[in-house]
């Protein structure tokens, strides 16, 4: 085990963020961008923590790795990582890191690195990063397929159903705002829903229905229907207080550029990412880049044409 390597894909939530925390389904798929972890044989099990992190981030990262390490019996491996994923943008960077580390640790321990095993170890890390996450991030990353994910509140692991797509599902992902810590938006929403439970539960339930309808639209190859579901989902996320002028503005821009649907993705709040669904992502990426707006495109599901990736 002199040189081990593991990749954890970033993820995009197409439908159902936040309501997934309350037990409703979400539709999510992997990005080609993610976190690459590498392992070298070592006399103890350790993680190389990047210099650039704050004291608090180092502490959390150390604690998270400690849990994954313990779950794998502390194999003798020194793990380092790098990423091409924008951080704290609702693109699942912590889930991707958890999956990448889990893959290397399991290999180092001489254990099977099936998607289920990887997800179980990554889950240890994710709980340290996020407190009570739904698990959609690391599950999508470990499975590397478009999934309809659901976790009943209180249940240990969520369930994922692979959603097959006869058509390419292509997105433009735009970094529309400042960094947005998931813990804050999830916590603030939790307070509102505690106080006005019925009103918020009604909206969560409706978003859950949209996620299921979206999965059906994907299976039927009906991208127009999927786009419409995304637009409605964005409206309901705004109703929950999870959008912002910057995110709304980008959603409208993408629709004006011909997106079949556009919405915020991930935690929302003051910043984070916005996604647009397109038949052809090229012109929108070109136009946004020309305007100096950070974006990239990614195919989440469906048949891939020769020579393209992600």
Q: Distance between CA 114 and CA 222 in Å, rounded?
A: 32
Q: How far is the CB of 6 from ligand PMV (least distance, A)?
A: 20
From the list 82, 84, 137, 297, the catalytic residue is 137
Q: In what order do the strands lie in the sheet with 169-175?
A: 261-265, 273-278, 169-175, 295-301
Nearest approach, Cβ of residue 136 and ligand PMV (Å): 5
- Cβ 232 vs Cβ 49: under 8 Å: no
Residue 27 and residue 148 in contact, taking contact as beta carbons nearer than 8 Å = yes
Q: Is 270 a catalytic residue?
A: no
In the complex, minimum distance from the CB of residue 151 to ligand PMV, in angstroms, rounded to a whole number: 9
Dig out the tokens for 108 from the structure: 């180092």
Measured from the CB atom, is 223 or 240 closer to ligand PMV? 240
Contacts 24+ apart (CB under 8 A), 290-297: 293/174, 293/175, 294/86, 294/174, 294/175, 295/172, 295/173, 295/174, 295/175, 296/33, 296/172, 296/173, 297/170, 297/171, 297/172, 297/173
Torsion 33-38-44-46 (CA) sign: negative
CB of 52 to ligand PMV, least distance (A): 20
Residue (11 or 72) nearer to ligand PMV, CB: 11
Q: Which of 245, 298, 295 is nearest to 86 (CA)?
A: 295
135 has which bridge partners? none
For strand 169-175 and strand 261-265, is the pairing parallel, antiparallel, or unpaired? unpaired
Minimum distance from CB of 185 to ligand PMV (Å)?
7
* Nearest-approach distance from CB 11 to ligand PMV, in angstroms: 7
Q: Which residues bind ligand PMV (CB under 6 A)?
A: 17-18, 20-21, 90-92, 130, 133-134, 136-137, 182, 186, 266-267
CB 192 within 8 A of CB 200: yes
Q: Which is nearer to ligand PMV, 26 or 163 (CB)?
A: 26
Of the CA atoms within 13 Å of residue 236, those in its CB half-sphere come to 24
Residues with catalytic function:
137
């Amino acid at each position: 085990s002199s040189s081990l390597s593991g990749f954890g894909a970033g993820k995009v939530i197409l439908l159902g963020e936040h309501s997934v925390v309350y037990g409703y389904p979400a539709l999510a798929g992997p990005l080609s961008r993610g976190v690459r972890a590498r392992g070298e044989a070592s006399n103890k099990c350790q993680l190389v923590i990047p210099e650039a992190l704050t004291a608090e981030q180092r502490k959390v990262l150390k604690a998270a790795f400690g849990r994954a390490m313990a779950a794998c019996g502390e194999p003798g491996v020194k793990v380092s990582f790098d990423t091409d994923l924008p951080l704290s943008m609702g693109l699942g960077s912590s889930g991707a890191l958890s999956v990448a580390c889990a893959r290397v640790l399991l290999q180092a321990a001489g254990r099977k690195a099936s998607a289920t095993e990887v997800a179980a170890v990554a889950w240890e890390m994710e709980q340290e990063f996020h407190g009570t996450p739904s698990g959609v991030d690391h599950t999508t990353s470990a499975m590397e397929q478009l999934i309809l994910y659901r976790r009943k509140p209180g249940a240990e692991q969520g369930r994922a159903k692979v959603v097959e797509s006869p058509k390419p599902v292509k997105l433009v992902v735009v970094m529309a705002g400042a960094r947005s810590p998931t813990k804050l938006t999830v916590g603030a929403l939790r307070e509102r829903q505690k106080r006005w439970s019925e009103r918020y539960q009604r909206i969560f339930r409706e978003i859950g229905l949209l996620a299921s309808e979206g999965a059906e639209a994907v299976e039927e190859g009906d991208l127009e229907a999927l786009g419409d579901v995304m637009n409605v989902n964005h409206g309901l996320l705004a109703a929950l207080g999870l959008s912002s002028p910057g995110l709304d503005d980008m959603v409208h821009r993408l629709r004006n550029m011909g997106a079949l649907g556009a919405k915020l993705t991930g935690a929302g709040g003051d910043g984070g990412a916005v996604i647009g669904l397109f038949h052809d992502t090229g012109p929108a990426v070109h136009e946004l880049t020309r305007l100096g707006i950070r974006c990239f495109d990614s195919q989440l599901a469906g048949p891939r044409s020769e020579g393209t990736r992600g």
